[in-house]
Structure 1
Amino acid sequence: MNAAVRAVVRMGIYVGAKVYFVHEGYQGMVDGGDNIKEATWESVSSMLQMGGTVIGSARCKDFRMHEGRLKAAHNLVQRGITNLCVIGGDGSLTGANLFRKEWSGLLAELVQQGTEASQKYSALHIVGMVGSIDNDFSILAWICKKPMIGMVFALDGEMMLPTVKQDAVFCLSVCASDWVLIPEMPPEDGWEEKMCQKLSALVVQRLGFDTRVTILGHVQRGGTPSAFDRILASRMGVEAVLALLETTANTPACVVSLCGNQSVRLPLMECVQMVRLGQMSFENNLKTYKLLAHRKPESELPNSNFNVAVLNVGAPAAGMNAAVRSAVRVGISEGHKMFAVSDGFEGFYKGQIKEIKWADVGGWTGQGGSLLGTKRTLPAKHIDKIAEQMQKYNINALLVIGGFEALECLLQLYEARSSYEEFCIPLCMLPATISNNVPGTNLSIGADTALNAIVETCDRIKQSASGTKHRVFIIETMGGYCGYLASVGGLAAGADAAYIFEEPFDIRELQSNVEHLTEKMKTSIQRGLVLRNENSNENYTTDFIYQLYSEEGKGVFDCRKNVLGHMQQGGAPSPFDRNFGTKIAAKAMQWISKKLNESYRKGMKDNSYAFHVVMKQTFLKLSIELNHHLTFFLTCAVVHEALSICHLVKA
């Protein structure tokens, strides 16, 4: 919520509006007084890393009554406030819509009482932003990511304890749903209160397993927000202010939401009415969970007689193992024989191929790095040996999980089809790279985990800078020539600037940023944070920028530099990367199964099946020939613009 508040305040000030905090939600609006204060640019600094909401939130019985809403209207009109940005769940947004509908009547009552003139404030404009850990309102409410992270890592911690026996069962109760069962598919009435206790007793008495009951409760509501929550909230906050600026007296109240990776404006009450309807994405997630959670008996599995190989290529990325697990289990469920290739195509031509079973990938979801091993070796030099291995193991389809190198590998195999019919099979890749630079994709497996690592480190560095005062840190991120990590990480961490290859910069811009930081040191926020992509400029290196800032900032601030390095590739994958890898791997295997069945009927030499899940082969080849392995899409450009507004420009 704090990221959204910060974005609304700074975007509002940027466009010349006067912005107010309403403390303690609707209760503060009803009570008025010091609960409604004007916000300044500095007042929202150092908020991004804080959990909860710094302006407070409270349930208000008074606002449900007409008299309470009349007091709220009086307090708003006193300060000339006619635009409201409401952050909350369906209850908060429904209340805001009712307040808007009654606005003209409330003003009429105030006029009769002789307290206010209604002509100047005849219309109340409302834009809502969904903030809920339940994620039951929009496609993805930003606050839902943090409790998911807390819940998943809490489970990781408990189940990985060395003292836990192999025959232990954990019963888990969470806020948004109870145990493994979900509200959308409940059993008989009255099961909620005693489910964990009954299950615990059943497991102990009948199976003899040691049992733990864990209730996470409100732990899910607290903690530092994830990088994704900060980014989404910041983008939604900027969009909410733009929506308010464009409203007229006849514009209905809207909710700023997320569709795919783009912000959209939806009618508020239509969204409220759809809260109880099932979402297609949720249904797909449920189907995937059911498919992967329990193995069917051998007698119920189909027998396809197809062999599918899975391998990792390129640098390791968190979430690769979750994708491999999903691919293996979905493939087995489809009746295929699954093979794992160690160390990428280097292991492929060396014959490091073995069959992998359902149980072999158990526990892989939460493992970081690449358990199969991964190399950057391309297949072109050893294409004949790879063809021999494919013939030896009778590989009928290939799933490659990796980054830009994986795309190059598949293109080389595609081009070798004219010489080797072993490659005339369905070929599919899953984007998995922290650089997020695979053409045709907006998001890659591992990027979210890397962003969280960057943001966590930046939070600690900012804390250090705040303590020492008058200090600026220069942080170098990975990503090659792609500025995704630097720009999006800068937005999430609250950086003052982010230097990336896609946005050329010169010495004048560097000097301008030094002047900005010099002025900033005169305020109450006496620290600075600058991010630089590792290949943003061959001349303006991290060392050069550090030396420039140190020299030009003499007497005002001192400077430190920090190269994050390979810590961005490691660590346990975030819940988002686990789910993302699991879902797209399941989709990939279903696509492979479909193409295998079609190819088997039509002939295995049908070349038209390669790259159907990505893009046309000709475009891919052109993309790969780019020198910088660069894919900076509109989404990232929007983020970089938001970064500039929220950090560099001060009205």
Structure 2
Amino acid sequence: MTVRIGVLTSGGDAQGMNAAVRAVVRAGIQAGAEVFGIHEGWQGAVDGGDQIRRLEWDDVGNVLARGGTVIGTARCAAFRERDGRKRAALNLITHGIDRIIVIGGDGSLTGTDRLREEWPAFVAELADAGEITAEQAERHAQLVIAGLVGSIDNDMVGTDMTIGTDSALHRITEAIDAISSTAASHQRSFVVEVMGRHCGYLAVMSAIAGAADYVLIPESPPADDWKQHMSHVLRQSRRAGRRTSIVVIAEGTQDRQGNPITPEDVRVVLADEMGEDARVTILGHVQRGGTPSAYDRWMATMLGHAAVGEVLRGDREPQLVAVRGNRPTFMPLMEAVAATRRVASLIEEGRYDEAMAARGRSFVQMTQAFHQLSEARPDAEPLEDCRQIGVLHCGGLAPGMNATAAAVIRLGIDRGHEMFGVHGGFPGLIDGDIRRLGWGDVEGWTASGGANLGTRRTIPTEEDLYALSRSIETSGLDALIIIGGFNAYRALTLIHAERKRFPALRLPIVVVPCSIDNNLPGLQMAVGADTALNVAVSSVDLIKMSASAAKRAFVVETMGRHCGFLTLTTGVAVGAERVYLHEDGITIADLKTDIDAMVEGFRSGRSFYLAIRNEEASPFYTTDLITRMFEAEGRGEFSVRGSVLGHVQQGGAPSPFDRINGVRLASQAMQWVTEQLASGADQHVFVTPDGMRDVRDLDELVDWQARRPLEQWWLDLKPVLHDLTRTPGVASAPGSLTGRGARPTTMER
């Protein structure tokens, strides 16, 4: 008998749940299983009947861009009782389902595991009562489960991110940006409450992304003098010239005596201590709504695909399908749930340091980074042996460059350094276009697109090095922080190689990675890549809408040069049928197979086809040529349009992740520079999330000719895209995603 898998969403909804459901349905069908949607969560399992329905390939065809969950969710009181779980077991067995993938929070996952434990007893009781046959009892003797975490709070221990968190951060950051503009007009203070009963992730990260002044979270209640401390921080910010004050508070915040701290409490403090007529904004359920972000689409897709493999395997204890380093990983389900619930217990017991540590190293680091920025002294006196640090951009524009530069400059001023902005990249440094920057000079940069210091792709040649070293000597720079892309790494290697000839180049230099291409070594995501991806995904969403009234195929070109990150992740996030990467190249055989499959699809009832091409996938088979080939072979049965997204991918306000990532890497860079100056060292390094790497490591990490890292983690998405877009029964094209250049999905790391 064919294996049957049930999928349900339970508890609070979260953006990205639909991407996970789609992945489960299509990966299951691709593996030869039948997949059933259990509607309205566990309530649907308890009710049975039409609430448990088989889902076919096309039933999940247009759900990626939709918020909420298309199969519904509910909190089920009946499922908390044994009789309710027994009814659920009966209904599942009646439908032949004994493998379940649950997308929900810790409560939903705990209830599911309890059903699994009770399942053998339920099977025996139902068989004895004659409600199921002996054959059914034997065939469905065990329940196999896997869990995906759908929660905007990012409160599950053991996973880097939960489904819905990134989208919620988008909603919150958009709100704070909007509030900041009106607050600045009136020089007004705002208190913004975000979700998070026991978890301050949304509060901390949105405070960083929104450049807020103060944050209050459950895991680390403020000291007893928090009212005075908060007022001092806000006054200091106003003295530095800021026209707004923004305080972000998580809904579950308490003081150290366990008394709730509400937004109204904060408003009263601002009125009493500062004479501010503060306003309160409670964002509420708007944080759960709206279109899911690009990350929540491709990440949830990847996890749903991995979950199918896990339940089909079915030979170990229930697993949480988590994400670590942007790859699927697995851990015992109830171990993760227990660790998550322990955090709430630690908070209740007042063991706040342990609660923070339980959230993970990254959360602790980012909380510290926020406090460093918010409490940095705008009027800090330069040190007696004050050092001068230059900040410049190099390479193509990447959203988030301004946020990164602002963090570097303010953290440097706080440490007693004099900070100098170099305008126009290396040509500006050679020409001496260098200006001292103060605290107020970078106000508003965090949310700003573009690069206010300017950027150039130009890197110094050997002939430029004398002029470069003379400029460094003349300006008195003691260290350089270069914020940029691949050319910044090129420049670093050149400067390092020539430091013996030019003593002025023997100063600490660090490169902070910013590039929309995401082609830089030693890290998962460069600053700017997430924004470019979201722009590409939003653009393709609009393109897909334009085709809703007619049979149409689109060939969309993304940026990325020789790195296919933007192309492939966009393809996964929007459900493209085909992607063309530089890493694979394009052959006429590939195109013939693709055209044949596309034409057959339209003849069989398809109304839309989407191919996405990396801008340098092939020097011969251009976007225009592929569009014309598709049009010619369509013979009027459907129309074909080409669309080159172009530089729109470099524009717009940086995404929350790019702002947060920029601050994280800037904090590391400034800490390193300060230590180098204190010790008299003069290393040349580049930043990674795990620390600094020496410039001499680059040859082991980079394909200099192709301008990309030797290891590209995102290539693991290729078989995921293939399995979820190739209609079962259609053969793989030569060189397609499971053909040349493909790598198997990494299920555990």
Q: TM-score, normalised by structure 2?
A: 0.82
The secondary structure found in structure 2 opposite 1:183 is coil
Q: How many residues align?
A: 640
Which residue does the alignment assign to 2:331? 266
Q: 1:205 deviation in Å?
A: 5.6
Cα distance change of structure 1 residues 155 and 56 upon mapping to structure 2, 3 Å threshold: same
Q: Distance in 2 between matches of 1:224 and 1:409?
A: 40
Q: 1:303 deviation in Å?
A: 5.3
Residue 135 of structure 1: which of 146, 150, 154 is its match? Answer: 154
Instruction: Please show how residues 20-35 of structure 1 align to structure 2 within 5 Å.
Output: 20-35=36-51
**Amino acid in the other structure paired with 1:152:** T
Q: Distance in 2 between matches of 1:511 and 1:417?
A: 53
Residue 131 of structure 2: which of 115, 130, 139 is its match? Answer: 115
**Amino acid in the other structure paired with 2:282:** I
Instruction: Please show how residues 610-621 of structure 1 align to structure 2 within 5 Å.
Output: 610-611=685-686, 615=693, 617-618=695-696, 620-621=698-699
Which residue does the alignment assign to 1:236? 303
**Amino acid in the other structure paired with 1:199:** V
The secondary structure found in structure 2 opposite 1:419 is coil
**Residue 378 of structure 1 contacts residue 409 of structure 1 at CA under 8 Å; is this kept in 2?**
yes
Q: 1:524 deviation in Å?
A: 5.5
2:227 equivalent to 1:160 = no
Which residue does the alignment assign to 2:119? 103
Deviation larger for 41-50 or 164-173: 164-173
The secondary structure found in structure 1 opposite 2:420 is strand
Which residue does the alignment assign to 1:393? 475
Q: 1:642 deviation in Å?
A: 1.2
2:76 equivalent to 1:60 = yes
2:733 equivalent to 1:628 = no
2:726 equivalent to 1:648 = yes
Cα distance change of structure 1 residues 419 and 537 upon mapping to structure 2, 3 Å threshold: same
Instruction: Please show how residues 536-615 of structure 1 align to structure 2 within 5 Å.
Output: 536-598=617-679, 600=680, 604=681, 609-611=684-686, 615=693
For residues 461-499 of structure 1, what are the alpha-carbon distances to aligned partners after superposition, in whole Å with 9 as ceiling and x for unaligned? Answer: 11111222x100111111111111111111111111111
**Amino acid in the other structure paired with 2:195:** C
Q: 1:644 deviation in Å?
A: 1.3
Q: Distance in 2 between matches of 1:208 and 1:272?
A: 45
Cα distance change of structure 1 residues 622 and 74 upon mapping to structure 2, 3 Å threshold: closer
Residue 92 of structure 2: which of 72, 76, 83 is its match? Answer: 76
Q: Distance in 2 between matches of 1:135 and 1:406?
A: 34
Deviation larger for 573-582 or 631-640: 631-640
Instruction: Please show how residues 271-420 of structure 1 align to structure 2 within 5 Å.
Output: 271-275=336-340, 276=343, 277-296=358-377, 305-380=386-461, 381-420=463-502
**Residue 595 of structure 1 contacts residue 609 of structure 1 at CA under 8 Å; is this kept in 2?**
no
Cα distance change of structure 1 residues 301 and 71 upon mapping to structure 2, 3 Å threshold: farther
**Residue 20 of structure 1 contacts residue 36 of structure 1 at CA under 8 Å; is this kept in 2?**
yes
Q: Distance in 1 between matches of 2:541 and 2:455?
A: 31
Q: Distance in 1 between matches of 2:140 and 2:85?
A: 16
Deviation larger for 181-190 or 121-130: 181-190
Structure 1, gaps ≥5 residues long: none
Q: Distance in 1 between matches of 2:587 and 2:725?
A: 19
Which residue does the alignment assign to 1:437? 519
Q: Distance in 2 between matches of 1:513 and 1:556?
A: 16
Q: 1:31 deviation in Å?
A: 0.5
Which residue does the alignment assign to 2:8? none
Cα distance change of structure 1 residues 185 and 617 upon mapping to structure 2, 3 Å threshold: closer
**Amino acid in the other structure paired with 1:395:** L
Deviation larger for 378-387 or 627-636: 627-636
Cα distance change of structure 1 residues 66 and 498 upon mapping to structure 2, 3 Å threshold: same
Q: 1:422 deviation in Å?
A: 1.1
Deviation larger for 381-390 or 416-425: 381-390
Q: Distance in 1 between matches of 2:55 and 2:378?
A: 62
Q: Distance in 1 between matches of 2:464 and 2:71?
A: 62
Q: 1:637 deviation in Å?
A: 1.2
Q: 1:596 deviation in Å?
A: 2.4
Q: Distance in 2 between matches of 1:627 and 1:300?
A: 46
Which residue does the alignment assign to 1:197? 264
Residue 519 of structure 1: which of 583, 587, 600 is its match? Answer: 600
Q: Distance in 2 between matches of 1:358 and 1:208?
A: 25
Q: Distance in 2 between matches of 1:545 and 1:349?
A: 44
Which residue does the alignment assign to 2:189? 169
Cα distance change of structure 1 residues 238 and 348 upon mapping to structure 2, 3 Å threshold: same
Q: TM-score, normalised by structure 1?
A: 0.94
Which residue does the alignment assign to 1:499? 580
The secondary structure found in structure 1 opposite 2:613 is strand
**Residue 496 of structure 2 contacts residue 684 of structure 2 at CA under 8 Å; is this kept in 1?**
no
**Residue 411 of structure 1 contacts residue 621 of structure 1 at CA under 8 Å; is this kept in 2?**
no
2:437 equivalent to 1:421 = no
**Amino acid in the other structure paired with 2:61:** S
Q: 1:294 deviation in Å?
A: 2.0
For residues 555-608 of structure 1, what are the alpha-carbon distances to aligned partners after superposition, in whole Å with 9 as ceiling and x for unaligned? Answer: 32110111111100000000000000110110111122222223x1xxx5x6x5
Structure 2, gaps ≥5 residues long: 1-16, 204-213, 222-254, 344-357, 730-749
Cα distance change of structure 1 residues 38 and 209 upon mapping to structure 2, 3 Å threshold: same
**Amino acid in the other structure paired with 1:256:** V
Q: 1:634 deviation in Å?
A: 4.1
Which residue does the alignment assign to 2:220? 185
Q: Distance in 2 between matches of 1:84 and 1:623?
A: 41
Q: Distance in 2 between matches of 1:534 and 1:418?
A: 40
